[in-house]
Structure 1
Amino acid sequence: MRFAYPMQKFQDWVTQQWVILHGRKIKPEDFPWLMGPFGNLDAIGEDFIHQFAERENLVIQKDSNAKGIIPSMLKLNLSEAEFSNLSKNVIEFYENTANHNLDFSVKWNPFFKFFGILINKLFSNRINQLNVPTKNIADSETLKSEIINLIDQKSKEIKYTFWFRSVESTGQVIYSGVYGVSNLPSGKTCVKAVFPLPNGNATVLMIPSVGENGELILDSSGKKFGDAGFYFLLKDSKGEYWSQFISSFRDRLIIGSENDLISAEQTLTLWHIKVLTFNYKIKLKK
């Protein structure tokens, strides 16, 4: 039996041991569609980005010409009909994310709110990651949104794009994730978001489609390992890699535009029960 790395916070060790017990051992070279940056034991937020760049011999660029979490929406491999119907404002947002301001509100299912508080106290507040506000926010809060590209020194190519988001009024970090596009074993293209955690990460893979009104729909409702969905990855005490697919947890994002105002609704569910909903209003910076 394998064990998680012992010299870390007990709650981190327990969750990693759970992944080892219920997940599967993998070889990174066999799962390029799934792999992404792993967090350090002592730093996850913006400090981690600097440490990761130094370790990988990459250069940090915060004001590069590439300002989007997806460099080109053509990479989503939508059908010609879908792409032509996709809102131009939504395309502009994904390709030039840093040029936009985001306001958001949060609504919890009261039955799950306690678990959100518990997760924040045990994990999120400490590691500055997946730090969802546990109070309902009816009036919009402004998110400080920053695109941080890590550049290969020789090729000058972008190796990783971090989307760093924090609440403007408090500085509380909500998400620090690596965004891009990946191809599943089935050949389907998906949007990939990797959130570094201590000695591992949480990875969300979402299949894109386009709605009748030109809205982009991203859905992580996969059924088995290899599908779109939510994955935990980690490295154990012997340096072996493990992954667990969480089929019960799903993320669905709908982002569209009307009268030049971009809005989005993100719904997280567990066992098909709504856990919480984010609503976003997105505007071009003046």
Structure 2
Amino acid sequence: MHDAQTIGDGWLRQAAAAYAGTVREESSAGLLADMAQLDGPGFRAAELQPRIRGFYERTSDWRLEVWAQWSPFFQPGGALVSRFFGRRVQQLALPVRPLDVAHGMDSRVVAIVGPDGRQRAAGWLRKLRSTGEYVYSGCYSARLLPGSRQPSVHVAFPLEAGNVQVFLRPAVTRDGALRLTSPAGEFGENGAYVVVEHGGGIHAARVPVHEAFRVYADSEGTLRTDHVLRPWSATALRLHYKLLPAAT
């Protein structure tokens, strides 16, 4: 969580303090120190295409080109949320028009390390290259949900006195691509949650928002990601990312 209305990257040191650790910025930082943290009955990092694994373990070495397409039914609501909430607090400001992301996104990864120097989580900060405004600011780690033997990718988007948390189930396809999904299910399973601190207590609710990511290499060997956002079963937003080594 954060203690101010504007999120940006202000939550990083507060998050590090929760681990009794520090924030460390370095080259070749990754969202996960090792994809093998996700190994379990339904996933083996060794089966991933090496470049896909490399993206998650050395995310700072990559740059993002992005395309966005909203469903006509959901676009007006997305525009209102982005304009009156996302841009104001610098968090979850989803791009609404294709030209909003025409110049791509700047990507910054910051490691959150414990007192032993080991990475416990990572902050992934993404800004629109054209305006410098934050689009997403999330804390990434591997988590094991209660009653599960398969670790999940856990993403927390800090807000003032609360957050949005998403637990994504990992899987490897036959061609070595990565799939991450937050399906429908019961409370405590993979999915999306809203957490709020209020009245001296912390309250959590599961929300009917589902996401699916597919990270793969195309026929020319370029890494790409398809991201679909669905409230209930309706498709609201599709995002497509082209992932390029930063040196290019």
TM-score by length of 1: 0.79
Determine whether 1:256 maps to 2:216.
yes
What's the CA shift for 1:84? 4.3
1:202-237, Cα deviation, whole Å (9 max, x unpaired): 001010111122110000003110110000011112
What's the CA shift for 1:160? 3.1
1:114-144, Cα deviation, whole Å (9 max, x unpaired): 1111212332111110111111349743211
1:13-92 maps to which residues of 2 (within 5 A)?
38-50=1-13, 52-53=15-16, 58-63=21-26, 67-78=29-40, 82-92=44-54
1:33-59, Cα deviation, whole Å (9 max, x unpaired): xxxxx1223331123324555787643
Once residues 74 and 140 of structure 2 are traced to their aligned partners in structure 1, the CA distance between those partners, rounded to angstroms, is 27
CA contact (8 A) 2:112 2:119 kept: yes
Q: Which one is further off, 74-83 or 275-284?
A: 74-83
Percent sequence identity is 24
Match of 1:273 among 216, 234, 239: 234
Gaps of 5+ in 1: 1-37
What's the CA shift for 1:61? 1.6
> Does the residue aligned with 2:109 lie in a helix, a strand or coil?
strand
Identify if the C-alpha distance between structure 1 residues 103 and 223 changes in structure 2 by more than 3 Å, giving closer, same or farther. Answer: same
Once residues 19 and 145 of structure 2 are traced to their aligned partners in structure 1, the CA distance between those partners, rounded to angstroms, is 25
Determine whether 1:174 maps to 2:130.
no
Q: Which amino acid aligns with 1:47?
A: G
Q: Which one is further off, 198-207 or 165-174?
A: 165-174
Once residues 131 and 169 of structure 2 are traced to their aligned partners in structure 1, the CA distance between those partners, rounded to angstroms, is 33
Once residues 140 and 19 of structure 2 are traced to their aligned partners in structure 1, the CA distance between those partners, rounded to angstroms, is 17
Aligned to 1:129: 91
Q: Which amino acid aligns with 1:48?
A: W
Once residues 124 and 257 of structure 1 are traced to their aligned partners in structure 2, the CA distance between those partners, rounded to angstroms, is 31
Aligned to 1:215: 177
CA RMSD of aligned residues (A): 2.2
Gaps of 5+ in 2: none
Once residues 55 and 93 of structure 1 are traced to their aligned partners in structure 2, the CA distance between those partners, rounded to angstroms, is 27
CA contact (8 A) 1:105 1:141 kept: no
Identify if the C-alpha distance between structure 1 residues 167 and 241 changes in structure 2 by more than 3 Å, giving closer, same or farther. Answer: same
CA contact (8 A) 1:64 1:149 kept: no
Give 1 or 2 for the bigger CA radius of gyration: 1
TM-score by length of 2: 0.90
CA contact (8 A) 1:191 1:207 kept: yes
Once residues 234 and 103 of structure 1 are traced to their aligned partners in structure 2, the CA distance between those partners, rounded to angstroms, is 33
* Count of residue correspondences: 245
> Does the residue aligned with 2:93 lie in a helix, a strand or coil?
coil
Once residues 81 and 250 of structure 1 are traced to their aligned partners in structure 2, the CA distance between those partners, rounded to angstroms, is 20
Once residues 171 and 204 of structure 1 are traced to their aligned partners in structure 2, the CA distance between those partners, rounded to angstroms, is 25
CA contact (8 A) 1:44 1:129 kept: yes
Aligned to 1:113: 75
1:225-264 maps to which residues of 2 (within 5 A)?
225-238=187-200, 240-246=201-207, 248-258=208-218, 259-264=220-225
Q: Which one is further off, 122-131 or 44-53?
A: 44-53
Aligned to 2:154: 192
Identify if the C-alpha distance between structure 1 residues 262 and 138 changes in structure 2 by more than 3 Å, giving closer, same or farther. Answer: farther
Q: Which amino acid aligns with 1:95?
A: E
> Does the residue aligned with 2:217 lie in a helix, a strand or coil?
strand
Once residues 74 and 188 of structure 2 are traced to their aligned partners in structure 1, the CA distance between those partners, rounded to angstroms, is 28
Q: Which amino acid aligns with 2:67?
A: S
